[in-house]
Amino acid sequence: MDLFSTDDYLRQSNDGAWDDHERMEYLVAEIDRLNFEYYMNDRSEVSDSEFDAMLRELTDLEKKHPQWASPQSPTKRVGGEVNKSFNQVTHSIPMLSLGNTYSIEEIEEFEARTRKLLQGEDFSYTCELKYDGVAIGLTYENGKLVRAVTRGNGVVGDDITANAMTIPTIPLTLRGNYPPAFEARGEVVYPFEAFNKMNQQREADGDEPFANPRNAASGSLKLQNSAECAQRKLLFCMYFMMAKQGVELRPTHYERLQWARQMGFFVQPHIKECRDIDEIKQFIEHWDKARWELPYGIDGIVIKVNQTALWEKLGLTAKSPRWAIAYKFKAERVSSPLLSIDFQVGRTGVVTPVANFEPVWLGGTTVKRATLVNADFIERMHICEGDRLLIEKGGEIIPKVVGVEPTVEGMRKAVAFPTVCPECGAKLVRTEGEAAHYCPNDGGCRPQIIGRLEHFVGRRAMNIDSLGPERLILLYNAKLVRSVDDLYHLQRNQLLGLGAEQSASIREKSADNLLAAIEESKKVPFERVLYALGIRYVGEVGAKKLARHFKTIDAIAAATIDELLQVDDVGEVTARSVHDWLADESHIRIVERLRQSGLQLQAQQVQTDGVLSGNTIVVSGSFNHFTRDGIKADIESHGGRVSSSISSRTTIIVAGENMGPEKLKKAERLGVKIISEEEYLKLVGQP
Ligand code: IVH
């Protein structure tokens, strides 16, 4: 539908000359085209605001005429659909993996074997990049994307269509000529730049950063809200086109990929048709070095027989095709002299040794620091002063010390782990059975205090987002805040003008905002306050379980170790940590001051005589009116007890969509009453 240009649209959209249906069709095609130009050809034909205006108009029209809204509409790219759970789908053709090797000799053997098997045939190979991401399969019917499924175990994967639709390089409607039915397979990768930005944001928000772009891509595809996935800036690299029965494609893999590009897929240009092993080896050698210049990660090279008619002739082994192989790059390794070791103190007092070494170029960046984990690690690796460290960077972004370069024994001096805290001088403690050394002076050791404050204000804790690390340091240096409870005693006049010469300076408006955010945090529910306290080994889940079980901080403080052990997932180490923390004089004082300031130190009132009291309830599947945690909280608020597994004590099962067949069988066997979400709502009086 290239009949009209954007200019035509802008001219005509306001004069009402088109009827809505026609305009919707036009907008779908034009937004798709602009999207293609932007992402594939790096060309913006309209401004962002014009583009947004078109998208908004289409969204409005779809609301007005839902019967005309296309399931492949570009409005789906914004996301917003909530995946309660991901349906399992069986691949129509299994998604095989490839035989892989780190050895060039094995690539030579593969080539020789293939040549022998294909004696007399005229054939070639394609060499292409092996993307380091998550494999997915996209089903197209009559030019429309109908389903996106992860590889899963190769036979069954998860339906992630709503999330896949938010990835700009996945065409929703194909362009030009296309086969009537086929599957496009490829890899979803997280480009480095977007990955780094997202991870920095996560750290700033107090969320755990992803270890590498692959994990992040995989996590993104499993996000429950597709609008969040839309923010992730993922890239789909298409590498394989597979016909559905009876559909003719092109005779070579190379031509199929070029064709796919014309249909609107992102097919990276670094694909080479090779005639012999020397050309293959040249391609591999080139990319082993050049890979770091790419904007996304690759972990090897894939070599495929180009003529697809020969694939059948070569056949499959048990797991992978005989017509392709993957060469995997070895993790890059360098050596560099150890210059010094910093001993860093974290928020929980744990002292982590960090090696400083001569800067070296590794995996596309200059690296000069890497963790040495703990004293055991240093000992195990026999790391001594003046050693040359061996440093690797594989799929991970962070360099890893993997050993030391052998040197003459006898001249080496073992690294001594400090006995006192490098920050405050307190004697370090190492508990029996634990690898870490830690500083016990939690009330007087600067990095611990700042770290605890940062944790306390974090998004998942008290969520005081106007208090970043710089401001916390300002408050600490001005001796206004030394402990989390001090935050609730800050006065406006104390804040004004703080750090005047720095970017974090606090002016009138920001002082007011800050105080308002602190005030607002008093509404944060008990379980998050408990997490915010930063008790060692008490993460978000642990805090939630403790809060639900004991209901108040006083009950937790009064609990014995044995009673703490009754809580799901609380083991010896956590129980002891919770017990000791709440018995400590200085912590008791903090809790008291927080209580006086009005923080939530007990769970919301629970009805003990509610309609569900006396019932042990299991929830299964996904729900329309609730998240899973939401329905559990609702059950408890009506006096019911939630249990995670079906047993003879279970009285009711609330079955959402997709309740597992195993659970269903067990429930039937035990004769437990099963009710639907609607019946549940009636039961608790919410029609
Ligand atoms: S072809 C039947 N080409 O590597 C052949 N795979 O085990 C299907 N991969 O799971 C795979 N880049 O996810 C192919 N250019 C590429 C690839 C590629 C990455 C992944 C794929 C597969 C694994 C190989």
Strands 332-345 and 388-393: antiparallel
Decide if 474 contacts 499 (C-beta within 8 A): yes
Residue nearest to ligand 1 atom 2, measured at CA: 96
Degrees (nearest 5) of the Cα angle 12, 43, 76? 65
Q: Is 384 helix (H, G, I), strand (E, B) or coil?
A: strand
Active site residue 144: no
326 Cα nearest atom in ligand 1: 24
Q: What does the pLDDT read at residue 631?
A: 86
Q: Is the pTM for the entire model greater than 0.75? A: no
H or E, element range at 150: strand 144-150
Q: Quote the ligand 1 centre to 135 CA distance (angstroms).
A: 7
Q: What does the pLDDT read at residue 1?
A: 40
H or E, element range at 148: strand 144-150
Residues in a beta bridge with 413: 385
Superfamily of domain 6-69: Helix hairpin bin (1.10.287.610)
Q: What does the pLDDT read at residue 17?
A: 46
Q: Is the CB of 94 under 6 A from ligand 1?
A: no
Q: What does the pLDDT read at residue 500?
A: 66
CATH code given to domain 100-104+123-324 = 3.30.470.30
Decide if 326 contacts 343 (C-beta within 8 A): no
Q: Please, where are the H alpha helices in 205-267?
A: 213-221, 226-230, 253-263
Residue type, 463: N
Place of tokens 């001249």: 411
Q: Please tell us whether the domain made up of 333-411 is placed in CATH 2.40.50.140.
A: yes
Residues in a beta bridge with 145: 140
Q: Is the CB of 130 under 6 A from ligand 1?
A: yes
Q: Is the CB of 241 under 6 A from ligand 1?
A: no
pLDDT, tens digit, for every residue of 466-480?
898 889 999 999 999
User: Looking at residue 206, what DSSP letter applies?
Assistant: T
Residue nearest to ligand 1 atom 23, measured at CA: 97
Residue span(s) of the chain under CATH 2.40.50.140 come to 333-411
pLDDT, tens digit, for every residue of 64-119?
999 999 999 999 998 777 776 788 899 988 898 899 999 999 999 999 999 999 99
**Domain 526-597 has what CATH class?**
mainly alpha
Q: Is 175 helix (H, G, I), strand (E, B) or coil?
A: coil
CATH code given to domain 616-683 = 3.40.50.10190
DSSP for 268-295, please give it. Answer: -S-EEEE-SHHHHHHHHHHHHHHGGGSS
H or E, element range at 371: strand 365-371
Q: What does the pLDDT read at residue 2?
A: 42
Residue span(s) of the chain under CATH 1.10.150.20 come to 446-523, 526-597
Point out the residues of the chain with pLDDT beneath 70. Answer: 1-18, 84, 204-207, 394-396, 408-411, 500-506, 605-608, 687
Which pair of structure tokens corresponds to residue 611?
């309609």
63, 76, 84, 130: the catalytic one is: 130
Q: Is 331 helix (H, G, I), strand (E, B) or coil?
A: coil
Half-sphere exposure of 78 (CA within 13 A, CB side): 11
Exposed/middle/buried for 394, CB within 10 Å: 0-12, 13-18, 19+?
middle
98 Cα nearest atom in ligand 1: 7
List the end-to-end C-alpha distance of the chain, in Å, as a whole number. 48
Q: What does the pLDDT read at residue 607?
A: 59
Decide if 264 contacts 95 (C-beta within 8 A): no
132 Cα nearest atom in ligand 1: 19
Please give the Cα distance from 146 to 138 (Å, whole number). Answer: 8
User: For residue 477, is it left (φ>0), alpha (ψ between -120 and 50) or beta?
Assistant: alpha
Which pair of structure tokens corresponds to residue 390?
């061996």
Q: Please tell us whether the domain made up of 446-523 is placed in CATH 1.10.150.20.
A: yes
Decide if 517 contacts 459 (C-beta within 8 A): no
Exposed/middle/buried for 70, CB within 10 Å: 0-12, 13-18, 19+?
middle
DSSP for 397-439, please give it. Answer: SS-EEEEE----TTS-EEPPPPSB-TTT-PBPB--TT-S-EE-
Half-sphere exposure of 602 (CA within 13 A, CB side): 8
Instruction: Report which of 286, 287, 182, 198 is spatially closest to residue 234, judged by C-alpha positions.
Output: 198
Q: Is the CB of 350 under 6 A from ligand 1?
A: no
Q: Is the CB of 326 under 6 A from ligand 1?
A: yes
Q: What does the pLDDT read at residue 101?
A: 93
Residue type, 179: P
